[in-house]
Amino acid sequence: MEIVRTEIPQFTELIDLASEKIGGKALICTDDFFAEKENLLKEGRGIFIEDKYTDRGKWMDGWESRRKRTEGHDWCIIQLGASGVIKGLDIDTNHFLGNHPPFASVEVCNIDGNPSTEQLCSNDVVWTEITAKSHLDPGSQNFFEVTNDQVWTHLRLNIFPDGGVARLKVYGEVYKNWSLVNSDELIDLASAVNGAKSISCNDMFFSHMDNLLMPGRGVNMGDGWETKRNRTPNNCDWVIVKLAHQGEISKILVDTCHFKGNYPDTCSIEGLNVTDNNIDWNSENLDWKEILPKSKLQADFEHHYENEIQNKASFTHIRLNIFPDGGISRLRLFGFIKNSVDG
Burial status of residue 16 (CB atoms within 10 A of its CB: 0-12, 13-18, 19 or more): buried
Question: Is residue 1's pLDDT more than 50?
Answer: no
pLDDT in tens, 55-109: 999 999 999 999 999 999 999 999 999 999 999 999 999 999 999 999 999 999 9
- Tell me: pLDDT of 277 over 90: no
**What is residue 275's predicted lDDT score, i.e. its pLDDT?**
85
Whether the link from the prior residue into 324 is cis, omega within 30° of 0, is yes
Q: Tell me, what's the pLDDT at 339?
A: 83
Task: Tell me the three state secondary structure of residue 103.
Answer: strand
Q: Answer for the pair 227, 203: CB distance below 8 angstroms, yes or no.
A: yes
Ordered by where they begin, the domains of the chain are 10-174 (2.60.120.260), 182-342 (2.60.120.260)
Q: What pLDDT score does 4 carry? A: 47
This prediction's pTM: 0.92
The pLDDT-based confidence of 337 (bands split at 50, 70, 90) is very high
Read off the pLDDT of residues 12-26 as tens digits, 9 standing for 90 and up: 999 999 999 999 999
Cross-strand pairs, 321: 238, 268
On the question of pLDDT at 340 being above 80, the answer is no
pLDDT of residue 283: 87
On whether the CB atoms of residues 41 and 20 are closer than 8 A, the answer is: yes
CB 214, CB 191: distance < 8 Å:
no
Instruction: With a cut of 80, say whether residue 273 has pLDDT above it.
Output: yes
Among residues of the chain, what percentage have pLDDT more than 70?
A: 97
Instruction: Share the mean pLDDT of the chain.
Output: 95
Neighbours of 177 (CB within 10 A): 8
Return all residues near 146 (Cβ < 8 A) that are at least 6 apart.
Answer: 86, 87, 88, 89, 130, 131, 172
Mean pLDDT within 192-197:
97
The answer, yes or no, to whether residue 6 has pLDDT greater than 90, is: no
pLDDT tens, position by position, 104-126: 999 999 999 899 999 999 999 99
Per-residue model confidence as pLDDT tens digits over 155-174: 999 999 999 999 999 999 99
Task: Print burial letters for 18-37: b (CB count within 10 Å at least 16), e (below 16).
Answer: bbbbbbbbbbbbbbbebbeb
pLDDT over 90 at 284, yes or no: no
Statement: residue 49 has pLDDT above 70: yes
> Within a 10 A sphere around the Cβ of 321, how many other Cβ atoms?
18
Read off the pLDDT of residues 237-265 as tens digits, 9 standing for 90 and up: 999 999 999 999 999 999 999 999 999 99
